[in-house]
Amino acid sequence: MDNLIQAALEVRKLAHAPFSRFKVGAAIEDEKGRVFTGCNVENATYGLTICAERVAVFKAISEGAAKLKRVAVVADTDDPTPPCGACRQILWEFCGDAELIMANLAGKQETTTIKQIFPRPFDASFL
């Protein structure tokens, strides 16, 4: 099993999802091969909830990662689950057209790129 998917599987177990019970794990690899993980953390107000992908990106940036090149997302769904819209925006801004691996607990995987799931992103080029 890919080490990035394994890292996402492991961190998924730490998700704080008492309301939705929808636990998600994410792992991001930088150009140096370092892996940064994140899990979703829910809040009773829902609007303050943060997704696993954003946790992983922010953690990578806060630990000095510069170029993020691969992302893995794991959830307990029949089909691999893609990142939400907010996460797609953050992934585009910090990872660019990185490889995206989506997987479920049964081992089903899909590999694509951020650009394929987010074809017309908004970024700094519009500012």
Residues annotated catalytic, as ranges: 53
Go through 78-94 and write b for each residue having 16 or more CB atoms within 10 A of its CB, e for each that does not.
eebbbbeeebbbbbbeb
- Say which residues have a Cβ less than 8 Å from residue 21's Cβ, sequence separation at least 6: none
What are the phi and psi torsion angles at 8 (to 5°)? -65, -40
Contact yes or no for 56/20 (Cβ under 8 A) = no
Q: CA-to-CA distance for 55 and 116, rounded, in angstroms?
A: 22
